[in-house]
Homo-oligomer: A and B are copies of this chain.
Amino acid sequence: MENSNTTDLSRFDNRHFQPGGSSLSRLLWFYVNALVFRSYLFPFYGMKRFLLRAFGAKVGVGLIIKPGVNIKYPWKLAIGNHVWIGEQVWIDNLAQVTIGSHVCISQGAFLLTGNHDYSKSTFDLITKPIVISNGAWIGAQGLVCPGVTCGEHAVLTAKSNATKDLEAFFVYAGNPADKVKARQIQ
């Protein structure tokens, strides 16, 4: 006799979610992420580029990836050229995350692709892709919410929360982030 107007997490059904990869690759990646990427003991970019590609990520040239990074599924990650991924960045990519070229994702930033339908008693998982376009900058501790596209050379300032798309060549700040000024590059 469930009350249909309340959440019932025992009825949550995630069978439609497609994690991608094989069971084995998901298991292996879980520990590679835990032991290599999240660790501070292996500050070696080359090894991490190799591992990301080996697990199906598309990675361009010149990727800098600092210690303490947490990546959910490398096979749902595409990164352009000359990208920086800062210390303790969290790419929680249940859905595809596409990062252009010359993008900086600063330390502590979080790319969040998962949501729940809180209007349903079954609290269904909703995943939406994220796009960080060429030249964009996600500031330290910034949050990019599911489904958000950050336009080319958009800037999200430190600790700000991008709940909707960021227009190209504009700077956004706050929680939720609002447009604060245009970005002009010399």
Q: Does residue A141 face the partner (Cβ distance < 8 Å to B)?
A: yes
The answer, among B34, B108, B118, B155, for a CB contact under 8 Å with A137, is: B118
Could you say which of A121, A173, A186 has the most chain B C-beta atoms within 10 Å of its C-beta?
A186
Task: Give which listed residue, B35, B102, B158, contacts A6 with CB less than 8 A.
Answer: B102
- B83–A9 contact, CB under 8 A? yes
**Given A118-B137, A118-B185, A158-B161, A84 contacting B9 (CB threshold 8 A):** yes
**Interface footprint category on A:** 35 or more
In the bound complex, do residue B62 and residue A43 qualify as a contact, i.e. CB atoms below 8 Å apart? Answer: no
Quick one: copies of this chain in the complex? Answer: 3
Residues of the B chain whose Cβ atoms lie less than 8 Å from the Cβ of A118: 137, 155, 171, 183, 185
Contact B140 A104 (CB under 8 A): no
Most buried by B among A116, A145, A158: A158
Residues of A within 8 A of B (CB): 4-10, 30-31, 33-35, 38-41, 43, 62, 67, 81-84, 90, 92, 102-104, 107-108, 110, 112, 114, 116, 118-121, 123, 134-135, 137, 140-141, 143, 145, 152-153, 155, 157-161, 163, 171, 173-176, 183-186
If A6-B152, A6-B185 are given as contacts, then 10 extra A-B residue pairs at C-beta distance below 8 Å, sorted by A number, are A4-B186, A7-B134, A7-B137, A9-B82, A30-B40, A35-B41, A118-B137, A119-B186, A145-B158, A175-B175
29 A-B pairs (CB sep. < 8 Å):
A4-B186, A5-B184, A5-B185, A6-B152, A7-B134, A7-B135, A8-B82, A9-B103, A9-B104, A30-B43, A31-B41, A35-B41, A104-B116, A108-B110, A110-B141, A116-B137, A118-B155, A118-B171, A119-B183, A119-B184, A119-B186, A120-B186, A140-B143, A141-B143, A145-B158, A157-B163, A159-B161, A160-B175, A173-B176
